[in-house]
């Protein structure tokens, strides 16, 4: 299998903020049909990109919907207090994306491969999710105060199960009929600085071609029949982008960089292909300490989800509900 | 939650051979409507109990169908050669239970809780199952020689997912429509000598109340709409049975044991309840080395399944397809 | 291997409070040379047994030292707030057992077998321990405020490594020369109600024959050359005790129980042996939900250790330093 | 922490065959003081580089000793039969590297980080190693036939334990005094085609700066006091090399590549630094399917070790001794 250059560089970017950067880099102006606002917190900067019409969706290469991006470099630091702050920001922002009653059933889905660290975010979040759906049948009324019925599933990946992930989820959704699905996935970023510093939440669900595992079937309202919020964290960058960046940097230094080009320089294209062909383009770049970064982000994401879904649990106590 | 004495002692026994022993112990004769045959191998003794009509099913407390039991004490020994022999016996016996073409889709389901060692057999078998369904879309024809399209799923348990296990399986089956489901589960035995020495295969599927996790909904042809083979290995004994055995043994020694009694001695009943109440009867007995026993049985069961489903793989090579 | 009745019933009890109960049950009075005091908290009752001389040590079957026992039934409940309270009690009580400066090196050792759930407490605590020793060489001074240099090791078990656990620990201690070792272990209780409700801390270290794994070599000041605090939580009961309890209960009901007997009734002894012989006495009793209980206790123990060793971390934030 | 360009490009290459390629690429001729021979098998090509004197060691940047490299692209294929063949080649080649009696104690050490997939090879091999040392005290004589006493240790990594890995190993070696240590490690290759296709065995042990984790202290005869065989498999490439390759490829195409240069083109150097600075050079490149590659290589390496150390186990049966 050869590296498919065209596919790698033409795929829609997982992060809306990166898509926006690319578009603005090319056009030098904000995208019509897309509203952008920002909020600042001690440990996080929040950017809300609202893609409002089909035209903006086409330009951005992403479906119509709301994309909330939390940029928080402190995730990479060994700083528990900062992580707590970021968890609370995530919880508040996530709450803005859904409108369901306290009785509504929620299904949390952890996409990705348990056995490959950079792809393990989804399953790790599921493992730490406060699952309560089964308690609602048995538990005394008072235990349920401030909690919603939540179930959780880590369906694995095609290579391990032999089953398209979306099929397993669709099957479960057809049976348990949740009012909301929250799907967590590892993303591929365009830029290494995004790895484990950026968290994206979107009310668009997970769409074909996105995530590390590159879903082939969407996990969204259209396929599942209920609202789907996607939470993604970049954990890798495709090796092609690193090569491209190194080549661009070289060309800039030597004064040969051509901006605004419509097509990539064929020599640049060929150089990247030469390097990546042996693994068919499936080479990813990760920081060495990816295991720690995944652990921290899984804790922040699962914590934010639990606080958002179970408002009865205080931010002091919720950590004791996770494992 | 109090220990429910009645429930514990009245539940149908997971093992057909144990049910048969109990019935014969009471009646002193073979059960009408049940055919029994045995086969002997170097490392294993095989008993095939065929429950043929509803009357026998009621007496045995188990559905109509074929139950193949492999008794192989060498599973507990550190003896690779013996384990290989037992794997081959299992493969041959399993093959007798299904009649499907080489093109038939098979779904292997690992029931049980990954995080609790005695209940982890199912998920461990799934982890080692040679999954091929996704390869049939991509792989060159020659790679598929002698292999069937196999998928595998470890759906977790209610306490972890908040979803009834059978619901997840039913959902997946509705989507991928397998021709055969093989479900692996940890069983509870009546007798400690059964732990990790006995493997039961049955064409009846998994029925409510069986297994360590005590499924509430069946995983069988009726619920899934396709044939279901259940493979079970006892890994625990309910603590109530150990207490009962100790009391019976004492009564026999002191000459106070009453055979053939219709009802249990109320003092015996009360004594067991006193001991088990604090954990509501959910106390199980396992050998200390349960982790090693589960590893060995998982290897034997997954090996037997792979050899049976993929006849193109020789018994010399198949181990190199497992991980 | 036959069940060794004598060994099972003569081994020293892991829990000092159980040893005290047994002695008081026999003699009807407090043990001379042993001081006992209690403290009450919302979610926990603390008993401090101070064995002060050799005579008391012999009577109790436990070395001279301080044993702090926290009894907290709420550990078994799904109650995050209660778990937080218990963690704080543990942290305060643990702090009483050592007297070291903020610069002192501490080694946390997790005894037990990662792969067998009831024996996995030690390794799970190590996994969640806030390890800082390596940071002291690199981190800016301000990061170290209120933290001690802590390292952590889960040496595995003899059956997996082929090496006596205490040998690996002794080797590491000889190299890194800690000022204090804290060793965490799963214990066997005499009574099922103790499972996952009782936490014992002792300044005596871990002594031969104790713990589920039954250490053969001590992990204490004598063998390691530095103070050793042992933290243990009962996670199993030997099946022999369950049988004995059922028999005693039966005998009491039928009016045949003889108190204060010097020797066990030979018929009782024989009955227990008959039941347990097939597994040589290595049968243990655990609650079904042992995985959840171990997770909760691991979180409480690791949390208590981290708060105690790193006073600079507030009880609100420390959970964000664990993973 | 900035990316240290000099350090990355000046470190000794982990693979002797790559070091040889580099030297020959520069000088166009074989290295004096280094003997090279090759052997061909169906599924593997074996290159034995014998560095015989200090001069050759300096040129190659690797210590005096024997380096056996197995190149076997079929490791990446789903081909059990090929994997079996490669395992046998590995076993035979490994046997050439040591000369110990059947009574000799062997310690297998798995270096690396269990939680980070590309660094998990060592711990995975240890998990599958047939450990027998403890059996020699208990097992009947006949069980020991054709087996050596083997122990195994996965000491973890500095970031997890707070202890330099070599310290833990040194401590254990001082206690159990093995006659031979076999240390398994994940390596960083210069070239992506090496990932999971090349296995290197060397009688030099593991030396500072090598492996993904970049040991700071050697694990060799000098530090441990007994012979040390290192087995390494490349699982990553430093991202700097991918960038360098892309730049070289571009320069070649555009006719600007300068061969045999003493110093790297400063623009190339700067371009790479610009890209890698955000993660201080600790970015690694891995194939997406790294989890499967690690599983396969772990099985091959542990199988080869077991067959080599325990000649009494046939190649048909040994897989049944692994888990």
Query: Contact C135/A80, CB-based, under 8 Å?
Result: no
Containing D94, the helix (H) or strand (E) segment is helix D80-96
Q: Helix C266-276 and helix C239-253: axis angle, to 10°?
A: 140
- At residue B110, the pLDDT reads 97
How many domains is chain D built from? 1
What are the angstrom distances between the C-alpha of A85 and each of A70, A314, C146, C316, D137?
Answer: 12, 13, 20, 11, 56
Q: Please give the backbone phi and psi of residue D27, each rounded to the nearest 5 degrees, phi first.
A: -100, -20
- Angstrom distance (rounded) from CA C2 to CA A138: 44
Cβ within 8 Å, pair B250-C268:
yes
Q: How far apart are CA D151 and CA C159, in angstroms?
A: 10
Hey, what are D227's tokens? 């012979």
Alpha-carbon Rg for chain A, nearest whole angstrom, is 20
Residues in C closer than 8 angstroms to A83, CB to CB, are 320
Out of A134, A167, A172, whose CB is closest to B176? Answer: A167
In whole angstroms, how large is the CA radius of gyration of chain D?
20
Higher pLDDT: A235 or D79? It is A235
Q: Are C206 and C155 in contact (CB under 8 A)?
A: no
Are B51 and B67 contacting, i.e. CB atoms less than 8 angstroms apart?
yes
Pairs of residues, one from chain A and one from chain D, whose beta carbons lie less than 8 Å apart: 130
- Tally helices (H) and strands (E) across chain D: 11, 9
Burial of residue D259 (number of CB atoms within 10 Å: 0-12, 13-18, 19+): exposed
8 Å CB contact of B143 and D78: yes
Neighbours of B, requiring at least 3 CB pairs below 8 Å, are A, C, D
Instruction: Count contacts between A and B (CB, < 8 Å).
Output: 83
The tokens describing A238, both together, are 């495709």
**CATH number assigned to the domain comprising residue B40:** 3.40.50.1450
Cross-chain Cβ contact C317/A84 below 8 Å:
yes
As a whole number of angstroms, the distance between CA A144 and CA A132 comes to: 9
Which among B205, B214, B196 has a CA at the least distance from the CA of B298? B196
**Shortest CA distance from A139: residue in chain C:** C78
Interface list for A 128-167 with C (CB within 8 A)? 135, 143
Inter-chain residue contact B320 with D313, CB threshold 8 Å = no
Both tokens of residue A218? 């969407």
Measured CA to CA, the distance from residue D170 to residue D177 in angstroms comes to 10
Q: Which residues in chain D show pLDDT less than 50?
A: 1
Q: Which two tokens stand for residue A157?
A: 């990946």
**Looking only at Cα atoms, what is the longest distance across chain D?**
72
Q: How far apart (Å, rounded) are the C-alpha atoms in residues B172 and B182? A: 14
Which two three-digit tokens encode residue A259? Answer: 């901006």
- Report the chain D residue with the minimal C-alpha distance to residue C150: D162
Find residues 289-308 of chain A whose CB sits inside 8 Å of chain D: 289-292, 295
All residues at 6 or more sequence positions from C223 whose CB lies less than 8 Å from its CB, including other chains: C166, C170, C205, C217
| C133 → closest Cβ in D152, D162, D174 | D162
pLDDT, mean of residues A20-26:
81
Helix, coil or strand: residue D180: strand
Residues B19-41 have a mean pLDDT of 86
Question: Mean pLDDT throughout A73-90?
Answer: 92
**CA distance linking residue A145 with residue C172, whole number of Å:** 49
Q: State how far residue C94 is from chain A, nearest Cα, in angstroms.
A: 20
A chain contacts of residue D78, beta-carbon cutoff 8 Å: none
The CA distance from D108 to B297, in Å, is: 26
The whole-angstrom distance between D105's CA and the closest CA on chain A is: 33
Q: What is the 3-state secondary structure (H, E, C) of chain B?
A: CCCCHHHHHHCCCCCHHHHHHHHHHHHCCCCCCEEEEEEECCCCEEEEEEECCHHHHHHHCCCCEEEEEEECHHHHCCCHHHHHHHHHHHHHHHHHCCCCCCCCCEEEEECCCCCCHHHCHHHHHHHHCCCCHHHHHCCCHHHHCCCCCEEEECCCCHHHHCCCHHHHHHHHHHHHCCCEEEEEEEEEECCHHHCCCEEEEECCCECCCCCCCCCCCCECHHHHCCCEEEEEEEEEEEHHHHHHHHHHHHHHHCCCCCCCCCCCCHHHHHHHHHHHHHHCCCEEEEECCHHHHHHHHHHHHHHHHHHHHCCCCCCCCHHHHCC
Determine contact: D264 vs chain A, CB below 8 A. Answer: no
Verify whether the Cβ–Cβ distance C253 to B242 is below 8 Å.
Answer: no
User: CB within 8 A of A64, min separation 6: which ones?
Assistant: A51, A52, A53, A54, A56, A57, A204
pLDDT of residue C279: 79
CB atoms within 10 A of CB B279: 22
Q: For B150-172, what is the mean pLDDT?
A: 94
Residue B286 pairs in a beta bridge with C284
Least confident range from A240-244, B30-34, D3-7, D126-130: namely D3-7
- Of B206 and B2, which is predicted with more confidence? B206
Domain housing A264: 2-322
Give A60's contacts (C-beta < 8 A, 6+ positions apart). A16, A19, A20, A23, A31, A34, A51
Which chain D residues are Cβ-neighbours of B78 within 8 angstroms?
Answer: 135, 143, 321
Chains near D with 3+ CB pairs less than 8 A apart are A, B, C
A285:D290 CB<8 A: no
Q: CA B160, B165, B167, B168 torsion: positive or negative?
A: positive
> Residue D299: CB partners within 8 Å, gap ≥ 6?
B320, B323, D83, D87, D128, D322
Q: Which chain D residues are within 8 Å of A285, Cβ to Cβ?
A: 239, 242, 283-285
The burial class, CB within 10 Å (0-12 / 13-18 / 19+), for D261 is: exposed
- Residues of chain B with pLDDT > 70, as a percent, come to 91
For chain A, positions 169-208, list CB contacts with chain D under 8 A.
Answer: 192-193, 195
Contact A188, A119 (CB under 8 A): no
Chain A residues inside the 8 Å CB shell of B173: 171
Residue C243, min C-alpha distance to chain D (Å): 29
Subunit contact C317:A135, Cβ cutoff 8 A? no
Interface test with D, best of B319, B321, B322 (most D CBs within 10 A): B319
Q: C282: which chain B residues are within 8 Å (Cβ-Cβ)?
A: 287-289
| Structure confidence at residue D12 (pLDDT) | 63
DSSP symbol at D133? G
* Chains touching C, CB cut-off 8 Å, 3+ pairs: A, B, D
Q: pLDDT tens digits for chain C (323 residues)?
A: 556 665 666 556 889 888 888 888 777 787 889 999 999 999 999 999 999 999 999 988 899 999 999 999 999 988 888 999 999 999 999 999 999 999 999 999 999 999 999 999 999 999 999 999 888 876 655 556 788 999 999 999 998 999 999 999 999 999 999 999 999 999 999 999 999 999 999 999 998 877 777 777 899 999 999 999 999 999 999 999 999 999 999 999 998 888 756 678 889 999 999 998 887 778 999 998 899 999 999 999 999 999 999 998 877 776 677 65
Q: Find all residues with CB under 8 Å of D309, minimum gap 6, and list them.
A: D106, D130, D147, D148, D150
Burial (0-12, 13-18, 19+ Cβ within 10 Å), D130: buried
Answer whether D127 touches A (CB < 8 Å): no
Higher pLDDT, A180 or C22: A180
User: C29: which 2 tokens?
Assistant: 């009075």
As a whole number, mean pLDDT of residues B274-292 equals 88
CA dist D184 to C175, C188, D12, D126, Å?
A: 22, 36, 18, 9
3-state secondary structure of D186: strand
> What is the per-residue pLDDT for D150?
95
How many other β-carbons are positioned within 10 Å of the β-carbon of residue B25?
A: 10
Question: Six-digit token pair at A33?
Answer: 């049909």
Flag if A143 and C78 touch (Cβ within 8 Å). yes
Cα distances from C243 to residues B11, C15, C190, C270, D194, in angstroms, run 22, 20, 12, 11, 60
Structure tokens belonging to residue D211: 């492996």
User: Is D267 in the A-facing interface, judged by CB distances under 8 Å?
Assistant: yes
Contact (CB, 8 A) for D167 and C175: yes
Residue-wise pLDDT for A41-61, tens only, equals 999 999 999 999 999 999 888
Contacts of D155 (CB under 8 A, 6+ apart): D109, D110, D111, D161, D163, D165, D168, D169, D172
């Amino acid at each position: 299998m050869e590296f498919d250059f065209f596919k790698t560089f033409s795929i829609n970017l997982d992060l809306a903020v990166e898509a926006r950067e690319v578009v603005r880099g090319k056009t030098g102006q904000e995208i019509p049909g897309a509203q952008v606002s920002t909020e600042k917190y001690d440990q996080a900067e929040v950017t809300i990109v609202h893609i409002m019409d089909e035209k903006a969706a086409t330009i951005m290469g992403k479906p119509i919907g709301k994309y909330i991006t939390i940029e928080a470099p402190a995730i990479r630091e060994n700083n528990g207090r900062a992580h707590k702050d970021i968890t609370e920001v995530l919880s508040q922002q996530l709450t803005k994306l859904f409108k369901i009653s306290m009785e509504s059933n929620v299904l949390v889905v952890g996409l990705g491969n348990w056995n490959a660290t950079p792809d393990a975010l989804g399953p790790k979040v599921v493992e730490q999710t406060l699952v309560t759906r089964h308690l609602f049948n048995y538990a005394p009324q008072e235990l349920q105060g401030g909690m919603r019925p939540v179930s959780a599933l880590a369906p694995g990946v095609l290579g391990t199960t032999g089953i398209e992930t979306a099929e397993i989820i669709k099957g479960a959704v057809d049976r348990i009929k949740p009012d909301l699905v929250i799907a967590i996935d590892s993303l591929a970023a365009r830029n290494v600085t995004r790895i484990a510093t950026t968290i994206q939440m979107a009310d668009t669900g997970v769409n074909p071609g996105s995530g590390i595992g590159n879903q082939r079937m969407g996990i969204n309202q259209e396929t599942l029949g209920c609202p789907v919020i996607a939470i993604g964290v970049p954990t890798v960058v495709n090796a092609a982008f690193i090569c491209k960046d190194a080549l661009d940097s070289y060309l800039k230094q030597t004064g040969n960089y051509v901006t605004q080009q419509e097509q990539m320089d064929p020599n640049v294209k060929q150089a990247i292909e030469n390097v990546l062909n042996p693994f068919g383009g499936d080479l990813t770049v990760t920081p060495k300490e990816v295991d720690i970064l995944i652990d921290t982000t899984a804790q922040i994401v699962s914590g934010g989800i639990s606080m958002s879904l179970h408002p009865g649990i205080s931010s002091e106590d919720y950590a004791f509900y996770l494992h």
